[in-house]
Every structure is written in C-alpha cells, then in structure tokens.
Chain A
Amino acid sequence: MLNTEQRLSILRANRHLSRAPAGVIETIAERAEEMDFAKGAVIFSRQEPSVYCYVLVSGHISHPEVQAAEEQFAIARETTVPGQLFGWAAAVEGMPDRIISARCDAPTRVLAFDGKWFQDLCRSHGEPGLQALQDLVRSYAGHERTVSGRRGWLSIRNVQKVYDPFGKSVVAVDGCSIEVRPGEFCAIVGPSGCGKSTLLNAVAGFDTITSGEIHLDGERINAADMKPKPGPDRIVVFQHGALFPWATVLENMIRGPIVQNKMSKAQAVQRARDLLARVGLSKVESRYPAGMSSGMCRRVEIARALMNDPRVILLDEPFRGLDALTKTVVHNALLEMYEMERRTVLFITHDLEEAIYLADRVLVMTTRPGSIKQTIFVDLQRPRPTELLGKEEFLQLKEEAIAAVHEEAVKAFEAGEREMA
C-alpha cells in the first residue's frame, strides 16, 4: 500500500492534474482506489462504458488501438511513466464509451478514481477547477479524434461576442466553451435572443468574435484577431431554408461540389442522385423549391449539406415554422441521415422536446450574455423511433430539462421587461 505522500507525488507528476487547483490532488489522493493487475490482464476494453480514470503507479500498459504517438494530446501507444493518466474518457462529459483498450504487459499497479466524481470535484473548485476540467476534456476530444480517425471535432473555447463594442455594446455571447466530439449530435437550446445564432454564425465563419477561439479538428477557424472564412467543411442549414429558388433540387445538390471544383458535373449528378435515392427524394430531383412543401425543402437542404462531405453540419433552427406533423417527418429524416454518416452536428433550437429527441447532449444557454448554463445528457438508444416521444424515459428526461430551462426563461423574460421599462 502506498502512503499519502507517495500518492501525492505520483499524482503531481501528471501534467493535467498538477494544473488543477489546490485541494483537487489531495482529495484524489485520499479517495483513489489502489488496484493491482497481473501481466496480460485487461483493465478495460474498447466500447465498454467508461467509469474510472486511472493513474499509473508502476508497470507497463499498452493501447493497441493507438497508431502513432501524438505529442500534442499526450497520447501514446503505451502508458509507462508513473503518474500518467489513462482511461480518462470517464472524466469527460457524456460518458462516451471507451475508444481504446488498456492491457497490462507487466504486473501493474494503478490508482483509480470515479470519473463522474472527479468532474464534480473539479466543478466544486470554481473557475480554476472548471478550467482544468475543460483542458482535460479538450485533450480528450482531440485524443478521440486522433484515435478514431474521425473528423468533426469542434472546439469552442471561451468565445465572446460583443456587438457594437464602441456604441451600445451588446454582449451577445460571453465565456462560452463547448467541446463537440467527432460524430456527436449536440443541441443548444435557449430562449430567443440568447446568442445561439451568434455562436453558430461564429462557427460557420459568417461573423467575427471579440475574444476566444474556435477550432475544428485542431485547426483554428475563428478567433478574435482573424477574419473567418466560411467553407464547405461547415455547412449551415438555415432557419427559413436557403435552397436556391432559381435552381432545381438536382442543381442545388450539385452546386457545392461543382463550385469547389471537387467533382465533374457528371460525377456530382451521379452522387446527388445516389444520395437522393438513399433518402427517398428521387422523385423531386427536377422540381424547383417553390413547388415543394417546406418540410421537403428542409430535407433536400440537409441532403445538400451532406453532398459537401462536411466535417460539421450546423443547423440553425431549421424546423421553425413547420407544423407539428411535418416536423416529425423531417425529424425522422434528419435522424436517418445522421445515422447514415454520423457527422458531427451542432443543432440550434428553442424547442426542448425536439432537442432531446434528436441529440446526444443538450446544452442549455443562458440569456445575454449567452453562455452554457447546463448540460443534459440524452441517454437514449439510437435509432430513435417516433414512439419514443411517448415513452416514460423520454418524458422524464423532458420534464427534468423543462425544470432546468424554466428558471432561465423566467430570467430572460424579466430581463426583457427591464429593458423595455
């Protein structure tokens, strides 16, 4: 058994944990469980749910899934240095499954602590604690991207947007940080005017930000000191739809690849037809948007987004103004397309039910200045059939979420009243 002093020195050797505020390491040292594994034992394996985080004390662990060491994210094929953290997926919000496994190549001793407990511990230490947790989460998301080889890791870091900084200076978004893991369906819910669309425009590159940074797959796409450039790796589906009315469905579909010179016209047409067939829209290929229902237009628009092979799809309240019946149809179409390719999706809405039904994670945004107030994990199996909307588990999730959002809505309303007065 290690004594407290030994535990502390091992934990301090870790570069993430040593940056955590005073008290965190001490608490971990106190609470962590010591575990011993024999040579050849598997500590955890791929796709298991992640519960514990581990810190190596002694021994040798290998992660066969890791292809190459990645300095930036401190990922290695092996964990050999005492104090090294592994299995930290557990410390990341959303409880994703393990994406790598850990096998002991030698008798190994580790310190283990519960990931959820660790998150709460960090949060209880205020801003510095959150910062440490965020660093960890960010590293993890990058790590996951590198290991899984999937694209679409969206990292929004401390973003602030002030409109008209020298005049009335309206703070639309402040201190907003979101990590969206590759392939995650993330929804942001908030009252009207809370800065959701501002945030989305910043990610899309339509608008500048006044401080903070936005990264996509580790590449800086927007920051305070740069003029962002929109691009086909981040396709936006707009609130009222933006299919070009002067082009047929097919022409709309092939527009992206053709203006980017990515495909010849014949290739693009072929691919568009394939995609339309897969989502059941073949019949409308030669129609103009004006001749279709708005629900159909939205489906085509999502398909048009997929044509561009985007890393992240940004949906800006795309189903606003559709009637309830059309909405369910379009929801299912969106889910179907999501499950087909599992692109990262950032979905913005004011409709909580919709958000819970569609997303893996729902972030609740506060009113001005907008920042993330709360996270709701949606632990519902996919594919999600329409019947789910009436199931107990869904209703319960919804109720909890409504309670959480209600407070914000009241605040927003009162703030609005004050502004009017």
Chain B
Amino acid sequence: MTPLWDTKWFLWERWSRRLRSAVLWQGLAGIITFFFVWQVARWLGWMVIIPSPIELAGGIPEEISRTGYWQNWVDSSRRVFAGFAVAAVAGIVIGVVMGMSKGLRATIFPLFEVMRPIPPLAWLPLAILFWPSSELTMIFLTFIGAFFPILLNVLAGIDKVDPRYRLAALSLGSSHGAMFRRVLIPGALPSLFTGLAIAIGITWEVVIAAEMASGTNGLGYMTWDSYMTHSMIGIVLGMLSIGIAGMASSWIMRVVGQVATPWQR
C-alpha cells in the first residue's frame, strides 16, 4: 500500500461518507423546499413584486455575464479583507497587551467599553469627513466592525486559560517568554478563532451597508444600484452573492481555525 493510494482512499472514504450522511441531504432538502414554496407562492399569485425562482434562474446568467459583476466581488472582498486584516492585527496585539498587563487593561478597557456599543455605521458621517477617500472610509468601517469582537475574544481567551496550566508551566520551570509562547498563545487560540469567525461575518454586513451609503462599486453598491434601476433580479442576485460571500468567508475562517488548533475536535 503506497501512501498516495492510502491518501486517495482516505479522501474517497471521507467524501463518500459525507455524501451518505443524512445531514447533507437534509440541508439540501431544506433549501429546495424554500425555493419550492417561493415558486408555489408565485404560482398562487402572491408576492408579485419579487421574481420567482424560475425567473431568477433565467435572468441570473445574464446579470452575471454583465461587465463588472465579478469586479464587484473583488472590490467588496478587498475591503472586507483589508479592514479585517488591520482589525485582526490591532485586536490581537492590543488584546494580548491588555491580557498580559492588568494596569494597561484597567486604563484602556473603560474607553473601549464606551466605544463598543456604537454601531459601525454610526461612524459613517465622521469617517466620510475624516478619510480622504470613500475607499478608506469603507475600510475603516469594516475595521471598526471587526475590531471589537476580535479584541474581546482575545481577552476572553487569555482570561480563560485555566490557572492550572499556568501553575503547571511554572512548576515545569517555564520562563516568562515560554509561558507566553507555549501556554497563553495556544490557550487563547480557540477563542481567537471564534472571534475571527464572528468578525468576518460582521465585516460583510458592514461593508455592504457602507457601499450602499458611500460606494461606487462592490456587491452592496450593485444591490442598491439595481434598486435604483428597478432590476429585481439584480437585487436578489446581489443579496444571494452577499450571502454566499459571507458563508464562504466564515467557512475559510473555520478551516483555518481547525488547522491551527489540531487538538480541538
């Protein structure tokens, strides 16, 4: 048995098991039922404003093939990931510093407590005035949306590291550096990834709203623009695209999290 064969067999086994599992088919059945009920409602003459699934299926290929559709994906994703990346770096660094030093935490935390309840979109007017371009405004808003969940989860993760592990590490002779690298970081990782997954969901919400308000491109802008041009299919396609983008981002975060924390099952 060569290792390659082994891997192939393993992959096949995994996929076939997934295909055979009821969960997959139940999920599919749910989605199909949803569209079916929608279609039936249209046949019955309800919800005439909204296009039926069959009309959508007919109209979407044309919408997608229009110039600029995929560019909207790229534009929105770029904003999401730029804001998210800055928020992740800032959230992790500030979170770790606050987690390590009681004094800094006591100094910074009340300020953040005041800022945290402010919805990201409430920053919009100030951001438009402050940032020189609408691009930076939108990235800033996604940053605000992602920053607090990441920060709070990093903090919670560090607090949650069981004191037993710290004591055990001390007992084994760990220095400060080793304690940080080998106990606090791995101990806080699961919570950090929870924060990142929440944050990436929020960034998509924020970027869409920001694009609707001040953008000239992106998926959010496309949806809003479709409304302005009375393209029902465009509106629904925009919504679907946003849903898929959010789902895909969360899925990527989850996979990265699983790879980074192999001890969690």
Chain A interfacial positions (CB closer than 8 Å to B): 204-206, 230-232, 234-236, 238, 240-242, 244-247, 255-256, 259-260, 288-291, 308
A238 CA to B172 CA, complexed, in Å: 13
Q: Are A290 and B165 in contact (CB under 8 A)?
A: no
Q: Determine chain B's interface SS by DSSP, over half rule.
A: helix
Query: How far is the CB of A286 from the nearest CB of chain B, in Å?
Result: 11
A206 CA to B167 CA, complexed, in Å: 7
Question: For the complex, is B132 an interface residue (Cβ under 8 Å from A)?
Answer: no
Q: Are B164 and A238 in contact (CB under 8 A)?
A: yes
Could you say which residues of chain A place their CB within 8 Å of the CB of B261? 246
Question: For the complex, is B189 an interface residue (Cβ under 8 Å from A)?
Answer: yes
| Chain B residue, CB-CB nearest to A248 | B263
A232 CA to B172 CA, complexed, in Å: 5
Query: How far is the CB of A416 from the nearest CB of chain B, in Å?
Result: 26
A259 CA to B165 CA, complexed, in Å: 15
Q: Told that A244-B165, A260-B172, A289-B263 touch, could you supply 18 new A-B pairs with CB distance under 8 A? A: A230-B167, A230-B170, A231-B173, A236-B168, A238-B167, A240-B164, A241-B164, A242-B164, A244-B186, A246-B189, A246-B261, A247-B182, A256-B172, A259-B175, A259-B178, A288-B262, A288-B265, A308-B173
5 cross-chain pairs, A with B, having the tightest CB-CB distances, nearest first? A246-B186, A242-B168, A256-B172, A260-B173, A232-B173
Question: For the complex, is B171 an interface residue (Cβ under 8 Å from A)?
Answer: yes
Given A238-B164, A259-B175: A290 touches B170 (CB 8 Å cut-off):
no
Q: B171 contacts which of A234, A240, A244 (Cβ < 8 Å)?
A: A234
Could you say which residues of chain A place their CB within 8 Å of the CB of B178? 259
A238 CA to B169 CA, complexed, in Å: 12
Question: For the complex, is B183 an interface residue (Cβ under 8 Å from A)?
Answer: yes
Could you say which residues of chain A place their CB within 8 Å of the CB of B134? none
Total A-B pairs, Cβ < 8 A: 68
Given A238-B168, A308-B173: A259 touches B182 (CB 8 Å cut-off):
yes
Query: How far is the CB of A406 from the nearest CB of chain B, in Å?
Result: 32
A206 CA to B164 CA, complexed, in Å: 11
Query: How far is the CB of A121 from the nearest CB of chain B, in Å?
Result: 41
Could you say which residues of chain B place their CB within 8 Å of the CB of A246? 186-187, 189, 261, 263
Chain B contributes a number of interface residues (CB within 8 A of A) equal to: 23
Question: For the complex, is B174 an interface residue (Cβ under 8 Å from A)?
Answer: yes
A310 CA to B175 CA, complexed, in Å: 18
Q: Are B263 and A242 in contact (CB under 8 A)?
A: no
Q: Per-position contact with A for B33-67: 1 when CB-CB < 8 Å, else 0? A: 00000000000000000000000000000000000
Q: Per-position contact with A for B150-173: 1 when CB-CB < 8 Å, else 0? A: 000000000000101101111111
Output the residue of A205, A245, A288 with the most chain B CB within 10 A.
Answer: A245
Q: Are B186 and A230 in contact (CB under 8 A)?
A: no
6 of the cross-chain contacts (CB-CB < 8 Å) are: A232-B173, A244-B182, A246-B187, A255-B172, A255-B182, A308-B172
Could you say which residues of chain B place their CB within 8 Å of the CB of A288? 262-263, 265
Within 8 A of A (CB), among B58-100: none
A32 CA to B96 CA, complexed, in Å: 70
Given A231-B173, A260-B173: A244 touches B183 (CB 8 Å cut-off):
yes
Given A242-B168, A244-B183, A244-B186: A259 touches B173 (CB 8 Å cut-off):
yes
Q: Are B174 and A204 in contact (CB under 8 A)?
A: no
A231 CA to B170 CA, complexed, in Å: 7
Question: For the complex, is B16 an interface residue (Cβ under 8 Å from A)?
Answer: no
Given A240-B164, A255-B182, A259-B182: A245 touches B171 (CB 8 Å cut-off):
no
A204 CA to B169 CA, complexed, in Å: 12
A246 CA to B181 CA, complexed, in Å: 12
Could you say which residues of chain A place their CB within 8 Å of the CB of B169? 244, 255, 259
Given A206-B167, A244-B165: A259 touches B263 (CB 8 Å cut-off):
no
A256 CA to B168 CA, complexed, in Å: 10
| Chain A residue, CB-CB nearest to B181 | A259
Query: How far is the CB of B39 from the nearest CB of chain A, in Å?
Result: 46
Within 8 A of A (CB), among B168-222: 168-175, 178, 182-183, 186-187, 189
| Chain B residue, CB-CB nearest to A255 | B172
Q: A236 contacts which of B171, B175, B183, B189 (Cβ < 8 Å)?
A: B171
Could you say which residues of chain A place their CB within 8 Å of the CB of B262? 288
A246 CA to B162 CA, complexed, in Å: 12
Question: For the complex, is B107 an interface residue (Cβ under 8 Å from A)?
Answer: no
A238 CA to B168 CA, complexed, in Å: 8
Given A238-B164, A240-B164, A246-B189: A259 touches B171 (CB 8 Å cut-off):
no
Could you say which residues of chain B place their CB within 8 Å of the CB of A255? 169, 172, 182
A289 CA to B169 CA, complexed, in Å: 16
| Chain B residue, CB-CB nearest to A241 | B164
Q: Are A230 and B182 in contact (CB under 8 A)?
A: no
